[in-house]
Structure 1
Amino acid sequence: MRIIVHLKYKNQEGTILQLVKTFFEEGDLIVKGSRNIIKSNFLGTIKVNIKFFQKPGLIKAIIYSFFRDTKAKRSFDYANYLLKHNINTPFPIAFVEERSIFGFLANSFYFCDQIDYDFTMRELIHNPLFPERNIIIEQFTEFTFKMHEARINFLDHSPGNTLILNKGNGKYDFFLIDLNRMKFEDLSLEKRMDNFKKMWLSKQMIKVVAQKYAILSNQSEEKIHAILLLKSRQFKRKITIKKYLKKRIGK
């Protein structure tokens, strides 16, 4: 077993390992997917989230064991990178990797702070009458611009992966989650707009994003709007076709 703990929590290493051992018996279930499970539990007096990554198949086990960082390690490393560049994410506590006697990856775990958030971008997108909707979209655009300026291309920049905390007086904090798919690169305007496509923005939301991003980047609003609208339409068309084909094949 390999364990890497943030210096802030180094004295909690034994407790972290105990939480790994009792993961399936203890804690409160948050998400249960086909391969990943997220639970909350207490690390001393602090409430934490624990994400379990199930043992991968043989090919992926070889890749993650010898050629590529595991999802748990990437989550930990990327969270540290985000915080270093003042991009909010739940504080990275530790990651744990279980391996076979031959060095192949088995199960792995990622520990981070629990964020008591108010809503996600998903609620905002599905409700045109959401309170202060345009204000939140503008601040989300500023948050994303800041991320782009830090050379972060968050490949899973989708509505459920941004937690939002209402600070009051029209101020909101944004936190990125599900971090294991990122690229760190200089981003052209086209790549920046492409990064918004999974947000499933409406025409009105695209207009708000384009206006704000133009101000922040000193670029043409018309150009930004055109690229963002095209990227969004292409993505929605692709997903619609996928769903249609899946239905047809399933008949």
Structure 2
Amino acid sequence: MKIYLSKYHKLSEKGVEEILLNFNAVGQSFFTGKKRRRNHIKVVEIDGIKFNIKSFKQPNYINRYVYVYFRKSKAERSFEFAERLMTKGIGTPKPIAFAEETSKGALTKSYYISEHLEYNLTFRDLDLAKPGHEDILRAFTKFTYNLHEKKVEFLDHSPGNTLIHLNNGNFQFYLVDLNRMIFKSLNFTERMKNFERLTSNKELVKIMAEEYADLLGKPENDVFKKMWFFANSFFVNRGKNRKVKQKFKNLLGIK
């Protein structure tokens, strides 16, 4: 097993390897009681400090070789992107290490370890009927604007991938699930498209468009039209795709 450690914590390579070799027996699953996910995340405590360990699902047959010879693994990308975000002053749980196991030239297992972060809610929990949530939404929009200004395109900018810490009104945002990210200047269309996965709620989109337009110095109607076009298109298409998949499963007798 190859293990790469960060400068943010002095865990020993031997200690990390011991935990990973006993991954199934240590710690607590992060999504206990919820629908099984593609990747398995556990919370492990070491010397009084909690860490998240993400075990990535084994890639398909072709990607097992692609991730060894042609492209960095999801674990390595998560680690490197976290370090880049921190140098840009963008919140993310501190990267601790990543590890990879190979066999006969193919990637068999990979892990990403980060410091565990306590948080209050995610974008998914925002409800305009609740006091203070509009302020959080506006602050989240400003956070996204700052990502764009710092040349970060977070491709998995979805409802559960930004952790929100309220901190007595000083809202702090932390990106997670980092393996799909591009660092480049974004034009207006790319900025608007980056909001598409967040919500199909038109009122939420209106508020985000209003806030983003003010930050960008662009007419609010122009921002809303483009932002809503991408968000609405994304969720309509996703609904259609799910119906097609369900019909196919029904034909095959798969539940």
TM-score band, normalised by the shorter chain?
over 0.9
2:102 equivalent in structure 1: 99
Partner of 1:16: 16
Structure 2 gap ranges (5+): none
Count of residues paired in the alignment:
247
Taking a change above 3 Å as real, the CA distance of residues 77 and 204 of structure 1, as seen in their structure-2 partners, is same
Partner in structure 2 of residue 87 of structure 1: 90
1:207 matched residue in structure 2: 206
Decide whether the 8 Å contact of 1:93 with 1:111 is kept in 2. yes
Rounded Cα–Cα distance in structure 1 between residues aligned with 2:183 and 2:243: 34
Aligned partner of 1:51 in structure 2 is 54
- Distance in 1 of aligned mates of 2:141 and 2:195: 9
In 2: Cα distance, 1:144 partner to 1:66 partner: 34
1:219 aligns with 218
> Which one of 34, 39, 44 corresponds to residue 36 of structure 1?
39
Q: CA deviation at 1:11?
A: 4.8
**Any conservation in 2 of the 1:16–1:43 contact (CA below 8 Å)?**
no
User: CA deviation digits over 1:151-206, x for unaligned, max 9?
Assistant: 111111000111111111x3211111110011122111111110001001422111
Question: 1:219 and 1:154 mapped to 2: Cα distance?
Answer: 22
Q: Which residue of 2 aligns with 1:243?
A: 242
What SS does the corresponding residue of 1:224 show, helix, strand or coil? helix
Q: Match for 2:79: what amino acid?
A: F
Residue 182 of structure 2: aligned partner: 183
Q: Deviations over 1:22-68 (max 9, x none)?
A: 11111011137454100000232210000001332220101101000
Amino acid at match of 2:217: N
5+ residue gaps, structure 1: none
Conserved? CA contact 2:52–2:116, under 8 Å: yes
Greater CA drift, 135-144 or 235-244: 235-244
Percent of pairs with identical residues? 36
Q: Please report the RMSD computed on the Cα atoms of aligned residues, expressed in angstroms.
A: 1.5
- C-alpha distance in 2 between matches for 1:182 and 1:200: 20
**C-alpha distance 123-95 of structure 1, shift in aligned 2 (>3 A):** same
Report which of the two has the higher share of helix.
1
Give the direction of change, closer, same or farther, for the CA distance of 1:130–1:55 in structure 2 (3 Å limit).
same
- Cα deviation, residue 9, structure 1: 2.5
Q: Which of 113, 116, 136 is the equivalent residue of 2:115?
A: 113
Q: 2: CA distance between counterparts of 1:89 and 1:227? A: 28
Which residue matches 1:5? 5
The TM-score normalised by the length of structure 2 is 0.92
Which letter does structure 1 place at the counterpart of 2:114?
C
The structural deviation recorded for 1:221 is 1.4
Residue 179 of structure 2 aligns to a residue whose secondary structure is coil
Asked if 1:139 corresponds to 2:139, the answer is yes
